[in-house]
Homo-oligomer: A and B are copies of this chain.
């Protein structure tokens, strides 16, 4: 919701859903630009602001938008009530800026719904057990929506975005990309964690865990969108569901770590919620460990800081390759489908791309290449693997 006009449009859309006979809980995020404005203020004070206070600050953005949307509905004669995380009872852990939802209270929600109120819930935020405000990180409002839908056992959790569904690939990169009417939850999970920015992986994880029927729709021209399906829903699963691209990747190689340091490093990653991908670990006969993994460039400084700290205990080497891109092919049973693997390697050879790494898991095959080559690889592989489907 970018502007007061946009809020009015959202209000109209909510009223349509109410008129269709539904009880509605709307989860909203901050107005466009508001979060950045707030972070800008924080960075004027301190370039590494205290995370507890950063969450206190950032959460105010949603407080503004829920109040405005409730006002717009009330003005139209529809009783609405805005609720903050603590008023709903959204309990999270205390990892500020990256908190995870532990539980959702439903008492107040049902009470308001049963009184015929439209509930406008603040997305992106929660409270820890001590009552501190936490935020859920990127895509946090989606996670809130899924969590509330799960808690209320909602018929559907509709996520309104700026695209009209999940695509076989980013249509800005590949003109042949097509909208998927359905996507299985596992593939969605991989796609989301791999840079298909429509849904954040954490919200998809939460949805999969609670089997929430999530539908991704366009805010501007809502249509069928894409429905995330679970095992019990009958559908034919294509071998390749879709492709996802990620830029700003780094490939790291650590050599000659003791196994103690290796474990210490992984624990630090867990504590700081640093996400690695394509992790490969090898043990040398000496017992020393080699680790390779891809990483988002934004996390590189943190990882280097951790390594420099650990090197004080035992020296090891760290090499990084920057400015890389990652293309991931997602689909059920990829690993056991040699036709796909063969097609991929054949294409890579034809393109004469310098491949940094390839890894293949049950439903995902990822290829790391120089960032500049990423789109070329993506378009060629989409055409080779999915081109004939459309």
Chain B residue at minimum C-beta to C-beta distance from A66:
B56
Do B64 and A49 touch (CB < 8 A)? no
Do A63 and B60 touch (CB < 8 A)? yes
Do A53 and B82 touch (CB < 8 A)? yes
Q: Does A71 contact B (CB under 8 A)?
A: yes
Do B63 and A56 touch (CB < 8 A)? yes
Task: Enumerate A348-385 residues with CB–CB distance to B below 8 Å.
Answer: none
A348 to B64, CA, bound (A): 51
The quantity of this chain's copies bound in the complex is: 2
Q: Per a CB cutoff under 8 Å, which of B46, B59, B64, B82 touches A71?
A: B46
A64-B46 CB under 8 A given contacts A53-B82, A86-B131 = no
A63-B68 CB under 8 A given contacts A7-B45, A131-B86, A131-B87 = no
Q: Does A4 contact B (CB under 8 A)?
A: yes
A214 to B95, CA, bound (A): 39
Q: Chain A, 58-87, contact with B by CB distance < 8 Å: what is the 0/1 string?
A: 011101101110111011000001101011
Q: Does A54 contact B (CB under 8 A)?
A: yes
Do A4 and B63 touch (CB < 8 A)? no
A45-B82 CB under 8 A given contacts A50-B70, A63-B57, A70-B56 = no
A367 to B108, CA, bound (A): 52
Q: Does A310 contact B (CB under 8 A)?
A: no
Q: Does A8 contact B (CB under 8 A)?
A: yes
Do A67 and B82 touch (CB < 8 A)? no
Q: Does A42 contact B (CB under 8 A)?
A: yes
A45-B8 CB under 8 A given contacts A53-B74, A60-B63, A63-B56 = yes
A42-B56 CB under 8 A given contacts A50-B74, A131-B87 = no
Do A68 and B86 touch (CB < 8 A)? no
Contacts of A68 in B (CB 8 A): 41-42, 45, 53, 57
Task: Enumerate A1-50 residues with CB–CB distance to B below 8 Å.
Answer: 4, 7-8, 38, 41-42, 44-46, 49-50
Interface residues of A, CB < 8 Å — how many?
Answer: 38
Q: Per a CB cutoff under 8 Å, which of B53, B64, B72, B74 touches A60?
A: B64
Chain B residue at minimum C-beta to C-beta distance from A87:
B131
Chain B residue at minimum C-beta to C-beta distance from A72:
B45
A84 to B132, CA, bound (A): 9
How many whole Å from A41's CB to the nearest CB in chain B?
A: 6
Q: Per a CB cutoff under 8 Å, which of B45, B56, B59, B67 touches A54?
A: B67
Do B42 and A67 touch (CB < 8 A)? yes
Do B87 and A71 touch (CB < 8 A)? no
How many whole Å from A105's CB to the nearest CB in chain B?
A: 11
Do B64 and A41 touch (CB < 8 A)? yes
Task: Enumerate A150-194 residues with CB–CB distance to B below 8 Å.
Answer: none
Q: Does A52 contact B (CB under 8 A)?
A: yes
Most buried by B among A60, A68, A71: A71
A56-B82 CB under 8 A given contacts A63-B63, A71-B49 = yes
Beyond A56-B67, A56-B82, 12 additional contacts (C-beta under 8 Å) are A4-B45, A42-B67, A42-B68, A45-B68, A45-B75, A50-B71, A53-B74, A56-B84, A59-B63, A60-B60, A60-B64, A86-B86
| 9 CB < 8 A contacts A-B | A42-B67, A42-B68, A42-B71, A45-B72, A46-B74, A53-B71, A53-B82, A54-B71, A57-B63
Closest 8 CB pairs of A and B: A57-B67, A4-B44, A56-B67, A60-B60, A60-B63, A46-B75, A50-B74, A53-B67
